[in-house]
Chains A and B, each alone.
Chain A
Amino acid sequence: QQQVKQSPQSLIVQKGGISIINCAYENTAFDYFPWYQQFPGKGPALLIAIRPDVSEKKEGRFTISFNKSAKQFSLHIMDSQPGDSATYFCAARISGGYNKLIFGAGTRLAVHP
């Protein structure tokens, strides 16, 4: 079964701290791993993404670490800010050209001042 397992379900971090969200998958037919950020009342928005032939990708304070052999990937938010408080979804794209995404269950992040 095609699944992406995400943890933790919720996370509280102090301002300036590092937020870490983890995802794991079993299906090797995934070829692209994006992260989406969702604010209340809004649809998810693409935050950052990585291909499986890359071990790390950084964009500003956001970094994806990818471990192909362990079938795990994680999102690190450095210097977390209250404005980062949102729900984060990891996802994996099924290879084959259809651009279908399988999403994790989501992590609700709260960054306290």
Chain B
Amino acid sequence: DADVTQTPRNRITKTGKRIMLECSQTKGHDRMYWYRQDPGLGLRLIYYSFDVKDINKGEISDGYSVSRQAQAKFSLSLESAIPNQTALYFCATSDSGSGETNYGYTFGSGTRLTVV
């Protein structure tokens, strides 16, 4: 099984619908992140969380919300999807320990979301 699992892998939804993207991890990491990937724009941070009680907005949080249900689970919701939220979404985790080996992110395989 993958260390970081994202579901669904692909989703097509209609404008105005609420949709939830889920992420679960077996790495035991306490830090989790949601990024959005668009061609020519790279990866942009939506939300991040350092534990169940800690949720922080990233650079493009408008139109999104998150829930950290447990250390291993971090969900991203689009309350009312719009076409410009069509993108590839990635969940990532990292450890909180010191040292360079703990800085690296482990990414899931992504969710391709299309809003029509």
Chain A residues engaging chain B, CB cutoff 8 angstroms? 6, 9, 32, 34, 36, 41-46, 49, 51, 89, 93, 98-106
Chain B residues engaging chain A, CB cutoff 8 angstroms? 4, 31, 33, 35, 40-45, 48, 50, 56, 58, 90, 92, 94, 96, 100, 103-105, 107-110
Expressed in whole angstroms, the Cα–Cα distance for A10 and B90 within the complex equals 22
Tell whether, in the assembled complex, residue B105 and residue A100 are in contact, meaning their CB atoms are under 8 Å apart: no
Number of A-B pairs whose CB atoms are under 8 Å?
57
- Which among A93, A102, A104 is the interface contact of B103 at CB below 8 angstroms? A93
Tell whether, in the assembled complex, residue B41 and residue A99 are in contact, meaning their CB atoms are under 8 Å apart: no
Expressed in whole angstroms, the Cα–Cα distance for A89 and B37 within the complex equals 11
Tell whether, in the assembled complex, residue A100 and residue B107 are in contact, meaning their CB atoms are under 8 Å apart: no
Tell me how far the C-beta of B85 lies from the nearest C-beta in chain A, rounded to whole angstroms. Answer: 19
Contact A106:B100 (CB < 8 A) given known A41-B109, A43-B4, A99-B31? no
Tell whether, in the assembled complex, residue A46 and residue B42 are in contact, meaning their CB atoms are under 8 Å apart: no
Expressed in whole angstroms, the Cα–Cα distance for A36 and B94 within the complex equals 14
Tell me how far the C-beta of B92 lies from the nearest C-beta in chain A, rounded to whole angstroms. Answer: 7
Tell me how far the C-beta of A65 lies from the nearest C-beta in chain B, rounded to whole angstroms. Answer: 18
